[in-house]
Chain A
């Protein structure tokens, strides 16, 4: 554990240096993500000019969801998105050989190889939006519900990470898998809307079979007292289960890895 932490710190420092090298790109990207946040708010306003509620979701509750969504996306992109995204290229070029021979946990190393610390700037507009919508919703500060929110969102992160990593693992067999970045979009984009609005059947599927609702929607519903608290437990169990599964699957895949280099 201590070694992993040391590795994380070293990679993080390295990532900061890399980001400082491309300052202008970083500034442009931060500008771009704030712009997309404003766009989302513009769209939500248009939608709510047509209706008061969407299946029990009011406007400011959706604002809160958008803020938390942006925060989580920034976190995923900052932590593990780029690292996992490059897995197919490692397989293709045979660089994975080198990586596997290092005395560290390969899955851990691959996931955080390419952190992007500048994503932390995306937190600011998202946090402003979260605070604004909490104000509008008149939610009083309650330490327990906040701890619960952070825990459930962490479990959601585990779920998202594990599913994404398992799909990326397929590249060991497929080798040519440039479409992985699009898989990320397929996974992340639906999270931007409350996933329980499509209907009870779909909510059930998205909770227990493809547990994407547990990533963001259900944590917020628990926070807003709209879902019984035991869903937090379900999220925790499914999160741990999927993480274990992704580790097992990765180790299984490595046994089938035939190096690309000579």
Chain B
């Protein structure tokens, strides 16, 4: 445990050293949900008959901003450069794998970015939402939200790690990443809330992992997933987590044998 703590402290210091950079990164992370918020508000104002009311649209994207900053990761780039540059060798001789290293780094970064984003979210909610909305959320919803958000961030992290580890085979991550981003945009609800999607997409989305990395926590907090649907959602999210974890272990064990230690 101590080794994690040492790494964590170092990472946290680094994050604070480059705070301007980190603030820009977190701002760029929320541009897309902010644009989507503006877009869907305009659609709602144009008198469209949406499945979400106007305050619900606002809540969806404000929570989306939060969720996006919590689940964000760039493990794929980190692993790619580590494997290609050969720094991967360093961590092979340590009792601390490169994935552990990035996990700690990711948590430190998230801590900084999420606290910064919370300021923006507070300002946004206070200016855009009626006061009565804050009293209507109950504690159970918040606990379920946090639980699914936690699983979502681990799931998203592991998928990203798997993409990064594909460097062992493909020597670059661009293609796997591009494909995953592309599918993600449709099925995760980042740009268009899944409820606005055509039925075909929606029916597919509940079986694919992408909804469980982003949209599910928001839907839970909005009280849109209830009863059997909620149980189904949690079970599916859990199954995906197990599957992806097993895949990660498998790929890591296989990939490490392929690793040749380029560079110095």
The chain A residues found within 8 Å of chain B, CB to CB, are: 28, 32, 35-36, 39, 42-43, 46-47, 49-55, 174, 176-179, 182-183, 185-186, 189-190, 192-193, 197-198, 202
Q: List 8 A-B contacts (CB under 8 A).
A: A46-B197, A50-B196, A53-B46, A54-B43, A54-B46, A186-B28, A189-B35, A202-B38
B binding-site residues for A, Cβ under 8 Å: 18, 20-22, 24-25, 27-28, 31-32, 35, 38-39, 41-43, 45-50, 174-175, 178, 182, 185-186, 191-192, 196-198
Report if A198-B41 is in contact (Cβ < 8 Å); known contacts: A39-B185, A185-B28: yes
**B25 is contacted by which of A43, A176, A179 (Cβ under 8 Å)?**
A179
State whether B46 touches A182 (Cβ < 8 A).
Answer: no
Q: Do A183 and B28 contact each other (CB < 8 Å), given the known contacts A39-B182, A54-B42, A174-B20? A: yes
User: What's the Cα separation between A185 and B18 when bound, in Å?
Assistant: 19
How many angstroms between the C-alpha atoms of A197 and B38 in the bound complex? 8
State whether A182 touches B28 (Cβ < 8 A).
yes
A178/B178 in contact, CB under 8 A: no
Note all chain B residues with C-beta closer than 8 A to A54.
39, 42-43, 46
CB-CB under 8 A from A197, the residues of chain B are 38-39, 42
CB distance from A84 to the nearest CB of B (A): 15
Closest chain A residue to B18, Cβ basis: A176
- Supply 4 further A-B pairs (C-beta < 8 A) apart from A47-B192, A182-B25, A190-B31: A46-B197, A47-B196, A50-B43, A193-B35
- Closest Cβ of chain A to B40, distance in Å, is 8
B38:A50 contact, CB within 8 angstroms: no
When distances are taken between beta carbons in the complex, the residues of chain B under 8 Å from A49 are: 198
The one of A39, A174, A189 in contact with B32, judged by C-beta atoms closer than 8 angstroms, is A189
User: What residues on B are CB-neighbors of A47 within 8 Å?
Assistant: 39, 43, 192, 196
Query: Shortest CB–CB separation between residue B180 and chain A, in angstroms?
Result: 13
Interface pair A50/B49, CB less than 8 Å apart: yes
With a cutoff of 8 Å between Cβ atoms, the chain A residues found around residue B32 in the complex are 189
Task: Give which listed residue, B18, B175, B182, B186, contacts A28 with CB less than 8 A.
Answer: B175
Q: How far is the CB of A168 from chain B (nearest CB, A)?
A: 12
Measured between C-beta atoms, what is the minimum distance from B42 to chain A in Å? 4
Q: Which residues of B contact A186 (CB under 8 A)?
A: 24, 27-28, 31
Within the assembled complex, what's the spacing in Å between the Cα atoms of A183 and B25? 8
| B18 in contact with A51 (CB, 8 Å) | no
Q: Please give me the residue from chain B that is nearest to A180 by CB atom.
A: B24
A227 and B191 CA atoms in complex are apart in Å by 29
A51 touches B46 (CB 8 A): yes
Q: Smallest CB–CB gap between A206 and chain B, Å?
A: 11
Q: Are A46 and B192 within 8 A (Cβ)?
A: yes
CB neighbours (8 Å) of B25 from chain A are 179, 182
Taking CB atoms, residues of chain A closer than 8 Å to B20 are 174, 177, 179
Report how far A57 CA is from B3 CA in the complex, Å.
57
List the B side residues contacting A35 at CB < 8 Å: 182
Q: Note all chain A residues with C-beta closer than 8 A to B42.
A: 54-55, 197-198
Which residues of A lie under 8 Å from residue B41 when comparing CB positions?
198
Residues of A within 8 A of B50 (CB): 50
Are A182 and B35 within 8 A (Cβ)? Answer: no
For B36, give the chain A residue with the smallest CB separation: A193
Q: How far apart sit A52 and B47, CA to CA, in the bound complex (Å)? A: 9
